[in-house]
A and B are shown apart, each in its own frame.
Chain A
């Protein structure tokens, strides 16, 4: 059953500036460093990106210091409960930069592993940037509760299918999970974001 309260948004490419710091961390380079290869990889990556996000607003029920319910049963995670402290509602968010990046990265792995590595790092950074953009659009730019997700801290990845279902993400974003609960497209992110009154 589709959740009928999901909103999906396509974001124009020029709205997303790839966060250079995020990329630098993944490339293990200083923030100030760049070179021709990195620039070329970014240009080629930008040609295949398709930014989309989808979200739904849910009620937060804190049941104990390590259990909460967002509408699909109990979630056991002390860290998530902490992140949702004082929030009556939360957004569930999913973002993806599209399957084109996966294809480009696998293609480059055959022709230039270095470019594949760089493009992979840039693509991860692009997904993070998109996630920030979506978060700012939803919760505003001011300081807000920590963004949380299955796989962080003590929240097991096994909750990921529920998140995907809550967002109809296979339909709204083209995100599917494999048997190890990894997302495809690879550069996709899910998040649970508390809303402070």
Chain B
């Protein structure tokens, strides 16, 4: 009903509640939702005042209610909806929006509320609202994209009501946790919300840039519910600095930008709404536009496919990478995250994530990698899996609108993937193959693309969200391969279909593949290729990318090309490697790159253990002693340790049976409840620089996990860190459990709050006052 109405008519929300309720006697600090039960007639009067002012939609007085805060949340919600129902009466063109506010907790990984717990928290409210007669759901004042997603999913999964969402943007046009309006449009429209927009935080004039961006990209109606300006304290009373007249003037401008649902937030009153309605009623609604842009997003920004070529980094993938496979088997997430961050540094726009390996739990691994990448890297992700349940888990946990790799023209593939795309949002790479395999002609591949797009449409997925990969097959077995692919790209381009390509398959079986790959990449870009799944560490591929953009006129003043080219060393600058003794100097000075190069040269001639004993360890000892004598400082010590660890990595590759890896194990963790891991990380780096195999369990680690790991790894040496007095009991508990599990296990503890006395009290085996002391203790342990 409201969905039909909002197509043809500008609708109006109500405004603020705080000011009015305070006038009615609500005390500062008293939760207004309690009035749903104690003063229901006043809440109804407030709703009536807005209905009289002309509001089409009133929001229930339920913003602050959830089951964390109130055991009787159901009763409060039902009472709140009843107040609204009494105000609306029998009128059938006024609507009750169930108001859902943020949880007040930060979601994982930065906070500790899990995504699924957040979904369940919101779902509990939604179920009560849906059962008791709300007409729609308004999710409002959300300042985190991930929490917003949890709330929208909760609504979608627990009711059939229309879902409206408004977020809080600051003056820099971002949510508190980083997302910009374009990213929010991409994610929210992907999730299928019925209207989206902005509320609170700023006055209407300051909101204009956000509103413009929302209106430019949104296909659903845009909601704008601003504050009455900013709060000011006058004689101890808070007042907002924009009056109803100025507010409604600004709302006129906002209506002209294309926002079609208007209302107010903090500091606004029925007067503000009445004036806004008077002035904006006759402004015609914006004509719906056809949107062709393809957006995917992360928790900070959107990437648009179809304008400037987009690079998708392919390195998070075990295929053909023994080291990566090994990391997956060991559950070494940090290695995998490192692959992501290194590609980000190379300038890719999207990261492909493929962690499929027959012998591991792919779903668990995919979830871990997606969640943890989201904590450290702001690039959008491409979820790459053939397992439907893994895909669903990843799309659910993803903070944004993901790219999906992939679907194809096979009926079963489409039936598996499209319902998930519809539910969670996403753009999909569509491979031009089907039950009959890969066609040999461009025309047939093109037809499969059309079939996929048609089928997607039936699921409600737009053409712009299907990115067709016309498939590159190696030219070593079919000379026509490249021509067919390029022709297909041109046909797709002419039909307004976006394209992607896994470029490197083209050269399979040939020598010096990067030469062929980069030439083919340039040719494909010239035919209109929109994105490529590629290896950003290939200099030839990056050359092609930057040179093409400069040549195609999409790199203003060739600025990106020039910046890229200036980083490439000229041939004459590459000197043959210098003195191997540089390794020791490089470690002492803490220069990672030089240390790695020197170690590479040395490894060609010297025995691995010799290099360690003659260069690395003496260097570490020298800087370590200087540190202990206060002649060097902690930052220098750490840089040296990092350089030594990097050199170790090089040298280790030459050690045949990984003897160096398994000998000296050390399990390390920051204890449960404590999220400080800087000290723990320092100790880890120092230990690694001395060649210890450190099993790092991270921070906030459950005592049981520490014990299980020590037993599983058969490691008798454990290091625990705690920074807070509040978390020392959890350290004590971990130590007790370790000693109980195996009396031979030695536990070394450190951290800001600890002292020798404290360490003795909690029965630690050793107290180390700094990282060097931990190293010395560990060396003694293994000597």
Contacts and interface: CB of A to CB of B under 8 A. Distances in A.
Interface of A: 1-7, 10, 27-30, 33, 35, 37-38, 50, 57, 71-72, 99-100, 102-103, 105-107, 109-114, 116-118, 120, 157, 170-171, 174, 176, 178-182, 184-186
B681 A109 contact: yes
B338 A110 contact: yes
Interface string B721-746: 00010110000000000000000000
Contact of B681 (A38, A107, A117): A117
A103 B638 contact: no
Contacts of B176: 99, 174
Contacts of B233: 5, 7, 57
Which of A37, A118, A182 has the most C-beta atoms of chain B within 10 angstroms of its own C-beta?
A: A182
A33 to B, nearest CB: 6
A77 B574 CA distance: 66
B82 interface: no
Interface residues of B, number: 65
A164 to B, nearest CB: 9
10 contacts: A1-B30, A5-B237, A7-B233, A27-B635, A35-B636, A100-B178, A109-B678, A112-B642, A117-B682, A180-B727
Interface stretch (B92-100, B359-367, B485-493, B669-677): B669-677
B334 interface: yes
Contact of B635 (A38, A106, A180): A38
B38 interface: no
A107 B238 CA distance: 41
Contacts of B439: none
Interface string B637-666: 011011000000000000000000000000
Given A38-B635, A180-B673, A114 B641 contact: yes
B177 interface: yes
Nearest to B727: A180
Given A3-B29, A176-B106, A179-B673, A114 B635 contact: yes
A30 B684 CA distance: 24
Interface in B666-715: 673-675, 677-678, 681-682, 684-685
Contacts of A120: 678
Interface in B294-339: 334, 337-338
A72 B29 contact: yes
Contacts of B641: 113-114
A170 B104 contact: yes
Nearest to A5: B238
A149 to B, nearest CB: 14
A174 B143 contact: yes
A112 B342 CA distance: 12
B171 interface: yes
Given A5-B28, A114-B685, A180 B171 contact: no
B29 A71 contact: yes
A4 B334 contact: no
Contact of A27 (B178, B633, B681): B633
A102 B638 contact: no
B29 A99 contact: no
B412 interface: no
Question: Closest 7 A-B residue pairs measured CB to CB?
Answer: A114-B638, A174-B176, A107-B376, A176-B106, A1-B31, A180-B673, A113-B685
Contacts of B590: 37, 114
B276 to A, nearest CB: 22
A171 B143 contact: yes
B104 A182 contact: no
A113 B376 contact: no
B377 interface: yes
Contacts of B419: none
B111 interface: yes
A113 B635 CA distance: 10
Contacts of A113: 638, 641-642, 681-682, 684-685
A176 to B, nearest CB: 4
B111 A181 contact: no
Contacts of B678: 105, 109, 116-117, 120
Given A38-B635, A100-B178, A114-B638, A184 B110 contact: yes
A60 to B, nearest CB: 15
Contact of B22 (A4, A57, A103, A110): A4
A27 B341 CA distance: 26
A56 to B, nearest CB: 9
A96 to B, nearest CB: 10
A186 B699 CA distance: 14
Contacts of B675: 178, 180, 182, 186
B112 interface: yes
B28 A4 contact: yes
Contacts of A178: 106, 111-112, 675
B221 interface: no
B479 interface: no
Given A72-B29, A170-B104, A171-B168, 4 more contacts: A1-B31, A28-B634, A30-B633, A176-B105
Contacts of B682: 113, 117
Nearest to B679: A117
B539 interface: no
B316 to A, nearest CB: 14
B18 A4 contact: yes
A77 to B, nearest CB: 15
A37 B639 contact: yes
A84 B23 CA distance: 32
Nearest to B377: A107
A176 B104 contact: yes
A33 B642 contact: no
A110 B30 CA distance: 45
Contacts of A7: 231-233, 238
A174 B633 CA distance: 35
Nearest to A50: B172
Given A2-B18, A170-B104, A118 B376 contact: no
Which of A33, A157, A178, A181 has the most C-beta atoms of chain B within 10 angstroms of its own C-beta?
A: A178
Contacts of B674: 180, 182
